[in-house]
Each structure stands twice: as structure tokens, then as C-alpha cells.
A and B are shown apart, each in its own frame.
Chain A
């Protein structure tokens, strides 16, 4: 029996991945990316005449669990209407039986590509914008659980989008009663994931090393939104040092002390020692940008003086010039 060449096998695999879009309003344009359970395709919505991203499960994937997972992601995204969260347009099942999810096609760069040209203040402002949709999701009871630079896209017009909510989990909403319908609607689906036998995999220990909190890496069942705070701290570390974190590398000496302290607090091993909300972390970053004291960093008197001088440099210089001029006048008057 003749064996097939690698090239032919690769071609067959690619053909197998091709989704059957017959009966849908989408035209396949090109392959965008692939993952463990499916692939993402660029397609055209023939009805609305726009380009969309289609996330389609692989044929070989265990259809039931992953279809539930994909639908869960679609429902989470549908419920999280925020300019910083990639919107979902449609979800369903293709003619070949594969589940799909249609999302906005984001043209732009990943965070890692984008920050190369940014200075420090712009990087920090960018992190504030990443934290906004996260805070929004947390307030509605959702935890992303896979936050990393690859899952943050910067659009052509500077829009910041947090992507890939496939591992998102329903946590505890901080909203008032009556505003939690979204989380409540998705919860039963996620519960069904846990009883399928793959719960420990789907529900707990997926994530990205370096960006995953210790409790998530241990597979704790009860991770909460603070696991995302850890990831946000890891992203900040990456944005400051250019290297994937775990701990701040030795080369991070050039990172200002307050920013290093913010990273360390966000990435504390104990969730109780972290910022308790994304907005707390961004508040510290805003304080740093404004030349104000940072809650995570107890500064010395010298550092405080330096910060105040840096913040009010012009005023201090003007008053100093005035006083020097006054002293000179006095000295001349005495002659």
C-alpha cells in the first residue's frame, strides 16, 4: 500500500478544515488562524456586504462539548456589548454539522506588534484601555481567563479590542440585582460543560503560562476575576520589559519603581494581595501618569520630593528664579 506524501496529507488536512458554508449567507475568503479545536476564517457576509471572522470547529473535534463551548463564548460576547470587546454577529451550525460563530473581523495589530513604536506613557494609556472592557466584563460576572498580548488587538484607528473569550467563565457579578441576566443565562451552559467529563480541562487549567495566575495553573475550581488582574499585571510587565513574564526579569532595572510595584501587586501569588478590581490598577497607573502617589508604592521623602518637583517643574523653576532675582537685588542694594 502506498503512503501519502506530507504535502498531500497537509493539503487533505487543509481541505478537511474548509467549512461548508452552503446554505449560509457567508462566502469564504481565506484562512486566518487555527487553534486546537477549530479555525478562524475570513468570510464575506453577502447580505450586509461586510467582512466577518468565522470561528469554526474542526470536524475531528468532539462536537458536543466544543459546540457548547463555542456557543457559550458566542453568548458571552453577545451579552458583553462594549467597544473594547469584539462583537459577535451570529452563531449556529453549518451544513457539515460543525458549530460556528461569526464575529467582527478586526484588522489591525496584536498588542505585541503595536507597542514596539510606543513610548512609556502611551503604553500605560493603552493598558488602561485594555482594562476597561475587562472591568466591564467583571462587573457583569465574566472572567476572561486567557488574557495575554496575543488576545488584544489594536485596530487601524487605534481601537483596543479584547479577543478570544473562549475560556471565559461566569463568576460573581458586581452589578445590582436585575442587571445580571446575561451571566445567569450562560451559567447553565457552563455547568453542563463541567459534567461532561472534560470539565477539569475546559473549566479550569486552560490558559497561557506566564499570563496565568497561580490558582488557575493549579486548576482551582473557584478562580475569580482576580485571575484576570494577575494576567493584566503580566501584560503590563510585558509592555514594560518586552519579555513574557512570570516574574519581572533581571533586566527590568529601567522600569520605574512605582510601575514595578504595580506589576508586583497585580501579580501577587495571593489573590487577596492583588488589586481587587481592574479599575483599582488603572487608577494607580493614572496616578503614575499624573505624577501622583501610587497606592502600591510607598515612596521615600526624597522620591516624593522628586515626584512633586517633576510634576510642578515649571512653577518651581519660576518661583526659584523670582527668589534668586530678589536675593540678587538685595545684594546689589547693600553695596
Chain B
């Protein structure tokens, strides 16, 4: 599995889990479907960006920092749209980015070397 696909799948799964847990917040329960879909899309976008980065840059530390940054940025945008819940949205978002950043550096097939 290549790094971009790995990032996409991992981002989607963790994003979906992220969204599903909103069900436990009573005031958000009515909008659970939209939250899950939105969270999954956010995870997919983050996963693709981090996967593409991992294909270009082979550094565990940079991959983790980039993943954390992308996760936090996307979560911040979502929190802005929600007008609140910054901590509840950004902490898991950052964690998802960090995990995807680590996983795409450590696992997944990189681009094949071309012979010159």
C-alpha cells in the first residue's frame, strides 16, 4: 500500500471515529450524520496531504510535525465553523494528524526509485 493511500484510509477511519464520538455529546446528537461525514472528509484531506508529504520527505520527525500541524489546522477551521469546542475538536484532530504523520513515515510504500 502506498503512503498516500495509507494516509487516506487511516485519516478516514480515525476521522470517522472522531465524528462518531460526538454522539456522546447530547447537544450534538441531532447533527451526528453531518458531523461524521464532515469529520471523515477532514480526516481524508489530512491523510492525503500527510501521505503526499511522506512521499516527498523521508523524515520521521518532520512527518510527525507536519501531520500534527495539518491536523491542528483543519481542526481549527472546523472549530471556527462551530464557533467553539476548540479544545474538544483540536486535541483529537491534532492527535489524528500526529498518528497519520507517524504511520505514513514508518509504513507504506514510497515512490519507486528510477534508474538513471
Distance to closest chain A CB from B95 (angstroms): 5
Q: Tell whether, in the assembled complex, residue A314 and residue B102 are in contact, meaning their CB atoms are under 8 Å apart.
A: yes
Interface status of A95 (Cβ within 8 A of chain B): no
Q: Tell whether, in the assembled complex, residue A333 and residue B99 are in contact, meaning their CB atoms are under 8 Å apart.
A: no
A321 proximity list for chain B (CB < 8 A): 95
Q: Tell whether, in the assembled complex, residue A318 and residue B102 are in contact, meaning their CB atoms are under 8 Å apart.
A: yes
Interface status of B14 (Cβ within 8 A of chain A): yes
Q: Given the interface contacts A329-B21, A334-B24, does A318 sit within 8 Å of B99 by beta carbon?
A: yes
How many angstroms between the C-alpha atoms of A330 and B106 in the bound complex?
30
A329 proximity list for chain B (CB < 8 A): 21, 24, 88, 92
A318 proximity list for chain B (CB < 8 A): 95, 98-99, 102
Q: Given the interface contacts A318-B98, A319-B99, A334-B24, does A326 sit within 8 Å of B106 by beta carbon?
A: no
B96 proximity list for chain A (CB < 8 A): 322
Q: Tell whether, in the assembled complex, residue A325 and residue B106 are in contact, meaning their CB atoms are under 8 Å apart.
A: no
Q: Given the interface contacts A314-B102, A315-B102, A315-B103, does A322 sit within 8 Å of B92 by beta carbon?
A: yes
Q: Tell whether, in the assembled complex, residue B102 and residue A322 are in contact, meaning their CB atoms are under 8 Å apart.
A: no
How many angstroms between the C-alpha atoms of A333 and B20 in the bound complex?
13
Distance to closest chain A CB from B66 (angstroms): 15
Partner of B24, one of A314, A315, A325, A333: A333
Q: Given the interface contacts A314-B106, A315-B106, does A326 sit within 8 Å of B99 by beta carbon?
A: no
A314 proximity list for chain B (CB < 8 A): 102, 106
B24 proximity list for chain A (CB < 8 A): 329-330, 333-334
How many angstroms between the C-alpha atoms of A330 and B102 in the bound complex?
25
How many angstroms between the C-alpha atoms of A325 and B14 in the bound complex?
13
B102 proximity list for chain A (CB < 8 A): 314-315, 318
**Chain A residue at smallest Cβ distance from B23:** A330
Q: Pick the most buried of A314, A321, A326: most chain B CB atoms within 10 A of its CB.
A: A326
Distance to closest chain A CB from B99 (angstroms): 5
**Chain B residue at smallest Cβ distance from A321:** B95
How many angstroms between the C-alpha atoms of A134 and B4 in the bound complex?
42
**Chain A residue at smallest Cβ distance from B103:** A315
How many angstroms between the C-alpha atoms of A230 and B91 in the bound complex?
57
How many angstroms between the C-alpha atoms of A326 and B95 in the bound complex?
10
Partner of B92, one of A315, A326, A333: A326
Interface status of B17 (Cβ within 8 A of chain A): yes
Interface status of B115 (Cβ within 8 A of chain A): no
Interface residues as binary, A17-39 with B (CB distance below 8 Å gives 1, 0 otherwise): 00000000000000000000000
B92 proximity list for chain A (CB < 8 A): 322, 325-326, 329
**Chain B residue at smallest Cβ distance from A323:** B17
B18 proximity list for chain A (CB < 8 A): 326
Interface status of B82 (Cβ within 8 A of chain A): no
**Chain A residue at smallest Cβ distance from B100:** A318
How many angstroms between the C-alpha atoms of A326 and B24 in the bound complex?
11
Q: Given the interface contacts A315-B106, A329-B88, A329-B92, does A322 sit within 8 Å of B99 by beta carbon?
A: yes
The 5 closest A-B pairs by CB, nearest first: A330-B24, A333-B25, A322-B95, A318-B99, A333-B24
A interface list, Cβ under 8 A from B: 314-315, 318-319, 321-322, 325-326, 329-330, 333-334
B interface list, Cβ under 8 A from A: 14, 17-18, 21, 24-26, 88, 91-92, 95-96, 98-99, 102-103, 106-107
| A-B pairs with beta carbons under 8 Å apart, 5 shown | A314-B106, A315-B107, A326-B92, A329-B24, A330-B21
Q: With A318-B99, A334-B24 given, can you name 4 additional A-B contacts, CB distance below 8 Å?
A: A315-B103, A318-B98, A322-B14, A329-B88
